[in-house]
Amino acid sequence: MEGKIAWMLTASALVFFMTPGLAFFYGGLVRAKNLVNTIMYCFVSIAVVSIVWVLWGFSIAFDDGGSANDFIGGFSMVGLQNVPFDGSGDWTLLDVTFQMMFAIITPALITGAFVERFKFSTYLIFLVIWSTVVYSPVTHWVWGGGWISQLGDGRGALDFAGGTVIHINAGIAALAAAWLLGKRRNPGLQSNNVPYVVLGAAILWFGWFGFNAGSAGTADNSAVNAFLVTNVAAAAAALTWGLISMIRTGKMGAVGVATGAVAGLVAITPAAGAVGVMGSLAIGFGAGVLCFIAVELIHRTGLDDALDVFAVHGIGGIWGALAAGIFTVTAIAGDDYLGLVEHGDLEQLGIQAVSVLGTLVYSAVATIIILYILDKIPGLGLRVSEAEEDMGLDLASHGEQASVGDGAD
């Protein structure tokens, strides 16, 4: 028990650190005049969602919802009542803590689509609503006893660490947001700070060990396997992306390798508890190829998903969710799970597909409705003014600059 708590608290801290890591990964990619704003989107998610989670977010995600339990949890754990200090309840403070870090990073991921033009005050409200109406219910479906966990006669879809709950969810929400928001007036060509992008990706990779290996719930063989396959997939995807870009442009850029690593990490997320090292090599390689292509294809649609959230998290998550059903190793995943490669069984793959589709549809529709309403509320709206967008959101939204070079510092 002590080993379990020690590991799970550590894993929680690792996942926490991913949100500031994401802040820098995203921040380095945007124009310099929007660096503080991009970081703030991620950082403020920590502040807002931490509170929403312990007040009602956890309850909606994990409580028994009675007759509505297929779709949503109940309110008996609002304010964490019925989650006793001594860990004797159905759910423990440890569960709340670990899961909270996932709830925090998911809306922060979405912000990559709407950087450089989204109104910050509207974002604060969006955080509360989206977390409540989209994140917690989808979590409930997959991990809280809802319909996705009941597919295939109770076996459920394989989503070890949240490929569906976090990444497909955030990815499609990002695409929906990009569609509603419209394009940036003058997007930059180059990243303003490549070292931040790499450092951010490194922090994400580091934190992801907690994200995936912590999802084993305890300090056991499953955690060890998850840790290792996470690294393998990230490495394979990073290298694949780097090599493809070297073939295409003659040079291997740091931004590409960093992005590739993140794509691999996304893809292994649902599968980390079900596949072995060979499967994770394939998953990482696949993520490198598919997400690279997805970035190009989404650009061609004219949608300005500024930081390619759907291409990396959406497509990466979808590939990982399907691959979990393809490369399942029953000795790792559990006797109920028969994969395509090992057993020639298509059923798990079918379950994965249903889970993916349900999440895509719900998250897209709900996000569009939420943003549409926020856009229409007087005093809110989604976009900053054109003058503010040109000035840069660091000054326009926060009255700050990332670095001051005019002697006024």
Partner 1 sequence: MLKIEAIFRPERVSAVTNALLDVGVTGFNYQNVTGQGQQKGVEVIVGRGGQATTRSTVAKTLLVTVVSDDKKDAVIDAIVSATQTGEIGDGKIFVSSVSDTIRVRTGESGEAAL
What is the nearest approach in angstroms of partner 1 to the Cβ of residue 198? 13
Cβ-based nearer residue to partner 1, 66 or 195 = 195
Closest CA to 290 of 269, 306, 310: 310
Cβ-based nearer residue to partner 1, 185 or 299 = 299
Q: What is the 3-state secondary structure (H, E, C) of the chain?
A: CHHHHHHHHHHHHHHHHHHHHHHHHHHCCCCHHHHHHHHHHHHHHHHHHHHHHHHHHHHHHHCCCHHHCCCCCCCCCHHHCCCCCCCCCCCCHHHHHHHHHHHHHHHHHHHHHHCCCECHHHHHHHHHHHHHHHHHHHHHHHHCCCHHHHCCCCCCCCCCCCHHHHHHHHHHHHHHHHHHHCCCCCCCCCCCCHHHHHHHHHHHHHHHHHHHHHHHCCCCHHHHHHHHHHHHHHHHHHHHHHHHHHHHHCCCCHHHHHHHHHHHHHHHCCCCCCCCHHHHHHHHHHHHHHHHHHHHHHHHHCCCCCCCHHHHHHHHHHHHHHHHHHCCCHHHHCCCCCCHHHHCCCHHHHHHHHHHHHHHHHHHHHHHHHHHHHHHCCCCCCECCHHHHHHCHHHHHHCCCCCCCCCCC
Instruction: Pick out residues in 275-304 that bind partner 1 (CB under 8 A).
Output: 292, 295-296, 299
Q: What span, in angstroms and rounded, lies between the C-alpha atoms of 355 and 360? A: 9
What is the nearest approach in angstroms of partner 1 to the Cβ of residue 298? 11
Cβ-based nearer residue to partner 1, 248 or 343 = 248
How many other C-beta atoms lie within 10 A of the C-beta of residue 282? 18
What is the nearest approach in angstroms of partner 1 to the Cβ of residue 24? 16
Among 200, 256, 276, 320, binds partner 1 (CB under 8 A): 256
Stretch that binds partner 1, among 52-60, 66-74, 85-93, 245-253 (CB under 8 A): 245-253
Are 266 and 163 in contact, with CB atoms under 8 Å apart?
Answer: yes
With CB under 8 A, what is the number of residues at the site for partner 1?
21
Among 2, 67, 86, 251, binds partner 1 (CB under 8 A): 251
Cβ-based nearer residue to partner 1, 250 or 407 = 250
Q: Under the criterion CB under 8 A, does residue 133 sit at the interface with partner 1?
A: no
What is the nearest approach in angstroms of partner 1 to the Cβ of residue 261? 12
Stretch that binds partner 1, among 14-22, 221-229, 253-261, 332-340 (CB under 8 A): 253-261
Cβ-based nearer residue to partner 1, 238 or 275 = 238
Binding mask 203-242 for partner 1 (x = CB under 8 A): --------------------------------------xx
Instruction: Pick out residues in 174-193 that bind partner 1 (CB under 8 A).
Output: 189-190
Q: What span, in angstroms and rounded, lies between the C-alpha atoms of 261 and 284? A: 8
Among 6, 82, 182, 248, binds partner 1 (CB under 8 A): 248
Among 259, 269, 348, 363, binds partner 1 (CB under 8 A): 259
What is the nearest approach in angstroms of partner 1 to the Cβ of residue 109? 16
What is the nearest approach in angstroms of partner 1 to the Cβ of residue 236? 16
Q: What span, in angstroms and rounded, lies between the C-alpha atoms of 276 and 274? A: 7
Among 15, 232, 233, 255, binds partner 1 (CB under 8 A): 255
Q: Under the criterion CB under 8 A, does residue 24 sit at the interface with partner 1?
A: no
Cβ-based nearer residue to partner 1, 191 or 352 = 191
Binding mask 307-346 for partner 1 (x = CB under 8 A): -x--------------------------------------
What is the nearest approach in angstroms of partner 1 to the Cβ of residue 361? 27
Closest CA to 265 of 291, 249, 284, 278: 284
What is the nearest approach in angstroms of partner 1 to the Cβ of residue 245? 3
Q: Under the criterion CB under 8 A, does residue 245 sit at the interface with partner 1?
A: yes
Binding residues vs partner 1 (CB under 8 A):
189-190, 241-242, 244-245, 248-253, 255-257, 259, 292, 295-296, 299, 308
